[in-house]
Amino acid sequence: MNKTVIIILTLFLLAGCKNNRNQAKRIAVAEVGNIVLYYDEMPKLIQRGVNEADSAALFQNYINKWAKRQLLLRKAEDNLSPELRDEIAKQLEETRSNLVIYQYQRQMILEKLDTVLTDEELENYYASNENSFILNSNIVKALFIKLPLEAPDLNRIKLLARSNDQNDLQQLESYCYQFAEKFDDFNEEWVPMDRLSVELQQNIENEENFLKRNTFFETTDSTAVFLVSIRDYRLRSSLAPFEYVKDDIKRIIWNTRRFEFLQSLENGIYNEALKRNSFKIY
């Protein structure tokens, strides 16, 4: 039997042997200098259905890669200049400090930062900062339908698509589930006009004129009929609807709270240290 296969099988046996306290002695697999690779540090390389030779090859390949990396690391460490070693040490310490601070800040945010935002707070922010919510693109509330050319009762469907009556819309939805290639009301939310252009597979040259002149639009290609019912629209350079920017306002307020909380946390720690004479400035 191949020597590597024997080693791998031996590792499996040893890994499965634990004492009554469920504590197994760590099994060394490879060593470079004083750095040891243990069996429990290796990824789960064995899958069901993989034969012994392939399993052994996977383990051997991982061990070889590990050894090459460790040997390269040793060579690099032995040949770096003292200046570069010092620079690396500074970078490592800076990275460690940043990571420790970040995790502490994150913990404090999770424990103490108030993340509840009321609709009243969001609306007040919107009303006080209207100039920050001017649209830079045209947006619509719309209904989009794509039907095969041979779909039945097209004239009736066009009438239903124009309607705002709930019964008509239910009939339209039922019909579209049967025959439409696509039926989308965009969750009755505002969407950029560009979204409709993509669905229609054509550019709309003058969106402003299009929206002012059309509440219903129909076009065809060689295989399908495209129907668009415009329920509402807002033009670029006008004030965005509150619903359209509501999530943006949430992020703005939350980020502001987060920044102020972290500033307060930092200043509180600093002031407490001043009271306790925990640091000196020379």
pLDDT single digits (tens) 205-260: 899 999 999 999 999 888 899 999 999 999 999 999 999 999 999 999 999 999 99
Question: Which residue did the predictor score with more confidence, 239 or 204?
Answer: 239
pLDDT at 270 over 90: yes
Taking CA 144 as the corner, what is the angle to CA 141 and CA 150, rounded to the nearest 5 degrees? 165
Cα dihedral 207→209→213→218 (10° resolution): -40
Q: What pLDDT shows up at residue 18?
A: 46
pLDDT band for position 107 (50/70/90)?
Answer: very high
Domain spans, the chain = 3-79, 113-134+240-282, 135-234
Joined together, the tokens standing for residue 170 give 């239910």
Residues forming beta bridges with residue 141, ordered by sequence position: 232
CATH number for the region 135-234 comes to: 3.10.50
The least confident of 17-31, 128-142, 158-172, 181-195 is 17-31
Joined together, the tokens standing for residue 86 give 């010092």
Whether the CA torsion 42, 34, 60, 8 is positive or negative: it is: negative
Distance CA 167, CA 115 (A): 40
What DSSP element (H or E) covers 230? strand 224-234
Q: How far from the centroid of its chain's Cα atoms is residue 156's Cα?
A: 43
pTM above 0.75, yes or no: no
Q: Average pLDDT of 6-21? A: 50
At 41-81, the pLDDT tens digits run 887 766 555 666 777 788 888 889 999 999 999 999 899 99
